[in-house]
Structure 1
Amino acid sequence: MVPAAQLPAARAHRFGLTDVLKNALFAVRGERGDLGLPSVRHAVVLLVDGLGSVSLAAHRGYARRLLAAPKASTIQTVFPSTTASALASLTTGVLPGVHGLIGYLGFDSSGDRVVNSLTGFGPDLDPGTWQRVPTLFEQARDAGIPAFAVGPGRYRDSGFTAAVLRGAEYRAGESLAARLGEVRRIHAAAERSLTYVYAPELDVAAHASGIASGAWSAALEDVDAAVGELVARLGRDVGLLVTGDHGGLDIPRDAHLIVDPALLDGVRHVSGEPRCLALHLERGAVAEDVRDRWQAAEGGRAWIATRDEAIAAGFFGDVDDDVLPRIGDVLVAARRRVAYYLDENDRGRGMVGQHGSLTPEEMAVPLLRFGAFS
C-alpha cells in the first residue's frame, strides 16, 4: 500500500463543487441546505471554466467585481480536476464514483476502448447511461421548477450536454454578456427558475496561452465586467453563485515528459489526461508491480496509487460497481509542474495551462455569492 502520508488529503475543504447547484435548487424550493442559502424565486449558478482560487488571487487587479462579492469562500472541485468530471458533479450533486465520468479520456470496459468524455458520444455510447444518475435539472423539473442551461450554441446538441444537462432547456449565447442577457430574459418570463450558465472563455485562454498570459488576464477581466453588470441588475429575489470547475498550472514545454516505454509494460490502455494518467492493465498484470515501477521512476514528481488505494483514500467518493472498471488499475497524478505524454507528437502538447491532478492550484475553486445569496 502507498503510505497515507504520501497521498494528499481527499477533502481539504468543508464544501465541494457538488454542493453548489444542489443548494441553489434547495433555495428555489424554499429549503435550507448545507450552504445556508435563503429562499429565492430565481437561482443562478455561473460556472467559469478554469477559475481556480489560486490563480484568481494572483490576478486580483483583473477581478475587482468578483472579489467584491459580499460573501466568498474556497471550495474543492472533484478528482480528477477536469471539466468532464467536474461539470457532471456540479449538475448531479454526486462525485465521479457515482455518476461515472472519470476523466477527460474515460475507459469503456465493455468496448475495451478509451473514449473522450466531452466529444466521444456516438451511436454506441449512450449519454443517458454513461452518465448514470438524474441531474438536478430533472429534479427541478419534477418539482415544477423551470430549469435552464445557458452556453455557447455549439454545445447545444452535444452528447456531453445530453449527459450532464438533461432536464434543462438550453439557451444559447455566443458571448458571456449575451448569455447573462439570456438570464435576465428567463427571469422576466418565469415565476421561478434554476439557471446554470457556462463560460468557457477563461479555460480556452489558459490552454492556448497560459494562466500567466495577457490573454488569460484579459479573459478574466471580461468575465469580471460581465458579472458586475449582471449583479447591478439582480432583483431582490435573485441569488447568484459564481464558481469554477477547476484551476490550473502553466506547464512549460520542457516539462512535458514522454513516458518511458518500460513503464507501460503490462498496460493495455491509458485514459485520463496528461496530469492524471489512468493505466488500465492487461489481464494478468499486477497493479502493485506497475505501481512500484512508476513509484521508482516518478515518485518524486507524481502521486502514484492503485485503484484500490485511491478509492480507499476517498478520491472518487463512494464508487458504484458499474463505475469501478472505468477507474484505472493504477493512477499517476502529477505533484510537480509536469505533464505526461505517450507520444512526442501528441496534439495536447500545444496546451500551456493544464489541470487534472490534486494540487491546490488545480483543486481549489472560489464560491462567490451575490444578490439574495449574499
Structure 2
Amino acid sequence: MAHLTTAGSAWHEPAPLDPRSAPLPRYGTGSLADLLPTIASGMGVPGLPAGMDLASADRVCVFLIDGLGWELLRAHPAEAPFLHSLLATSMNGTGEPMTAGFPSTTATSLASVGTGLPPGAHGLPGYTVADPATGALMNQLRWRPWTDPHVWQPYPTVFQLADAAGVHTCQVSAPDFQHTPLTKIALSGGTFHGRLSGEDRMDLAADRLAAADRSLVYTYYSEVDGKGHRFGVDSDEWRGQLMYVDRLAQRLAEQLPPRSALYVTADHGMIDIPFDPESRIDFDEDWELRAGVALLGGEARARHVYAVPGAANDVLAVWREVLGEQMWVAGRDEAIEAGWFGPPGEGVDDRVYARIGDVVAAARDDIAIVASETEPNESAMVGLHGSMTPVEQLVPLLEVRT
C-alpha cells in the first residue's frame, strides 16, 4: 500500500515501480521460446532461428518438469543430487539458467516451448485472459469455455516442422493430455505416447530416442508443480516429489543412446505466499481495486485487469496508487512496449492485443492478488507463480550428452 515518507521536511508519496524496471524474459537469446527452434535448427529443420548457443545432436530429448524453478533446484541439493550435479552444464556449460516468459505460468510456457514463439505471438498470455470475441474470460490451461484451438493459436509447432523435415518426433506424457486443446496447439507433431507412470515415460522416451538416426522426443512430469500448489515448496510433500523426479531424470540419462543430448528444463518456478491480509490482498473484498473493473484475469501473481469502457486510465491510476510499490503495474501498451510479452519494441500479434489486460500487474514483493469468491480454488493454493521475480522466472536447462 502507498504510504508517506519524508525527504527533509517535505512529505511525499514514494514513486511506483517503473514497468520498464521489471527483469524481462530473455526473448530471442535465452527463453523457453528459443529452446526448441535452436535444437531443431541444429538437426537440419529449415526456417527456424537458432537464438541459443547449443551444440547440435542427432538425437535430442527435452524433459520438462512442471514447477521446478532454477532457484528451487539450487536450494535443494540433498533432495535432487543428480539434477544438482548438472547445474554446471546449464546453458551449454555456462552454468546459467534460462528464463520462462511472462507470465511464468504453465499454459503460456508450454505454448512458448512448443511453438518457439513468445506469448505476444502465440497468444496464450496468461492463465485466464479475455476472449475479445465473447467478452468472457478464457482459461487457457483448461480451455474453458471452448473455442477453436487452431483459431486461438494458428502457428505450427516446432514438432510439426521437425516431423515434416523427416525428424522422428514424438511426445511421451500422461495419457490424459493426448487430446487436450493445449497439446494440439502447442505440443503436437509426430506421435503421442501416453504412459501413466514416470518410470514408463522415461523408459519409452529413451526407446523412442533410439528409434531413428534423427530423433526429437519431449516428455513431461507435472506433480512437482501440483504438490507445490497444494502444500507449498517448503513442504515434505514437495520435497518428496523433487526426490522422485530426480531419480526419473537419472533413469532417463542412463538410458540415452549414442549421439544424444538430454535437456532437463521447467516451465516456471514457485513461491509460497503467507495466508495473511497483507500478503494476500482479496480483490473480491477490496472496493478500491474493484472500481471500474469488468473482469479480473490472470492469476494471483500476474493479473490481467479489464476495465469497463472508458475506465482504463482510472483503473491504472488506482492500481498503481494501491499496489505500485509492491507490483510492476503497467497499461497494456506500456507492458507490450517494455517487452513483457515479447522482445521490446516488437509489439504483439493483432489477434492477441485485446487478450492482454487494460492493466497488467506483476508482483515484485511476496504478495498475491487473490479472489476468494470468484477463484476459491486458486486462492487456496499455498505455492504460486506467474510474475518476473527470479524464483518464478528462472528455469534450468540441464544437459547430458552421450
* Fold equivalence (TM over 0.5): yes
Instruction: Specify the alignment match of 1:361 in structure 2.
Output: 391
Partners of 2:111 and 2:186 within 8 A in 1: yes
Distance 1:276 1:36 in 2: 30
Describe how 1:89-238 pairs up with structure 2 within 5 A: 89-121=112-144, 124-238=146-260
Q: CA deviation at 1:11?
A: 3.7
CA distance in 2, matches of 1:246, 1:215: 19
Residue 17 of structure 1: aligned partner: 32
Tell me the TM-score normalized by structure 1. Answer: 0.93
Matched residue, 1:76: 99
More deviation, 76-85/21-30: 21-30
Q: Where in structure 1 are there 5+ consecutive unaligned residues?
A: none
Q: Which residue of 2 aligns with 1:257?
A: 281
Change (3 A) 1:6 1:43: closer
* Residue segments in structure 2 that go unaligned for 5+ positions in a row: 1-14, 91-95
Q: 1:7 corresponds to which letter in structure 2? A: S
Matches within 5 A, 1:312-331: 312-317=337-342, 318-331=347-360
Secondary structure of the structure 2 residue equivalent to 1:369 = strand
| In structure 2, C-alpha distance between the alignment counterparts of 1:361 and 1:187, rounded to whole Å | 32
Report the residue type matching 1:348 in the other structure. E
Match of 2:82 among 35, 55, 65: 65
Distance 1:226 1:215 in 2: 17
2:298 maps to amino acid: G
Number of equivalences:
370
Q: Is the 8 A contact 1:151 1:199 kept in 2?
A: yes
Q: What one-letter code is carried by the residue in structure 2 that aligns with 1:281? A: A
| Distance change in 2, residues 1:188/1:9 (3 Å) | closer
Is 1:293–2:318 an aligned residue pair?
yes
Q: Does the alignment pair 1:274 with 2:273?
A: no
- Residues 114-133 of structure 1: CA distance to partner in whole angstroms, max 9, x if unpaired? 011011256x5011121231
Letter in 1 for 2:376: D
Aligned partners of 2:56 and 2:229: how far apart in 1? 38
Cα contact 1:27–1:43 (8 A) shared by 2: no
Aligned partner letter, 1:257: I
The CA distance in 1 between the partners of 2:214 and 2:237, in whole Å, is 37
CA RMSD of aligned residues (A): 2.1
Which segments of structure 1 move beyond 6 Å, counting only runs of 4 or more?
A: none
TM-superposed deviation, 1:248: 1.0
Classify the secondary structure of the residue corresponding to 2:269.
coil
Note closer, same or farther for the CA distance 1:348–1:57 as it changes in structure 2 (3 Å cut): same
Which residue does 2:3 correspond to in 1? none
1:36 and 1:293, CA in 2 relative to 1: closer, same or farther beyond 3 A? closer
Q: CA deviation at 1:6?
A: 6.5
Which letter maps to 2:128? L
**180-189 or 72-81, which deviates more:** 180-189
The letter for the 2-side match of 1:289 is D
* Match among 344, 348, 368 for residue 378 of structure 2: 348
